[in-house]
Amino acid sequence: MSKVIAITGANRGLGLEFVKQYSQDSNVTVIAYQRSDDRSAIEALKKDNVKIIKLDAADDEQVKKAVEETKKITKSIDILINNAAINTGPFKLTEPQDLSPISKVHDTNVLGPIRVTTSFLPLLREGKDKKVIFISSGVASLTRTVKKSFGPMAPYAMSKTGLNMVVALYSVELSDEGFTCLAFDPGHVQTDMGGGHAPLTPPESIKNMIAKISSVSPEVNGKFFAVKGDPGSTKMEEEDW
């Protein structure tokens, strides 16, 4: 059966790997949303079932335009993956400094997925799967934070905890319509954001996430799942909020 899968931040890193793996299936149409004007990474895949649309998740007008462009391609979206995000780097709350990175990261990582998800809801409501995946992070976990599991990245960590609340709220607001809204921690992965020494490769992380996305149903709506940092691991487990 054909499916339409929409992915934000699709031009590099985990987003590009989602596009690569999903587009292997000729029954899938992948809509690859990217902020950049440089289409070369996705065009290099040479896949007729991948459509590129410009979308900056931090720009209301661009998100609206992206919805209109999408409607020219499809009447429905089955799976939306809110993947686009930024991390402005190390930041300790105890060190006096400019607080603007907190609002900048919040605008992209928390408000971005809200702009995108709510704007695309009419298309998602027409979809068969009604799955909305939010790429969160282990650093979102309050439980793991107080166990000192992570270095200081306050803007990013706060944004991903905020994102998890967004997931919980969408899961409640959309539960009567049969949606499955989930937060995923992809594990620590070798991308520009994750760095070259991360234990997981993008193909490993994305393989696990795609397997999870295809197996979930509304019974797990509103949960947080993680790809654990063991490259041999092939399944995602429930994560501490």
Least Å from the CB of residue 38 to ligand NAP: 8
Closest by CA to 234, choosing from 196, 193, 206, is 206
Stretch that binds ligand NAP, among 79-87, 143-151, 168-176, 214-222 (CB under 6 A): 79-87
CA distance 106 to 85: 9
Phi and psi at residue 149, to the nearest 5°: -80, -15
For residue 102, which amino acid is it?
A: I
| Residue 188 touching ligand NAP (CB under 6 A) | yes
Residue 214 binds ligand NAP (CB under 6 A): no
Residue from 7, 8, 79, 158 in contact with ligand NAP (CB under 6 A): 8
**Among 198, 207, 218, 229, contact with ligand NAP (rule: CB under 6 A):** 198
**17: three-class secondary structure by DSSP:** helix
Q: Does 65 bind ligand NAP (CB under 6 A)?
A: no
Verify binding: residue 67, ligand NAP, rule CB under 6 A.
no
Contact 88, 101 (CB under 8 A): yes
Give the contacts of 96 (CB within 8 A, at least 6 positions apart). Answer: none
Contacting positions for ligand NAP (CB under 6 A) = 8-9, 11-15, 35-36, 55-58, 83-86, 108, 112, 135, 137, 185-186, 188-189, 191-194, 198
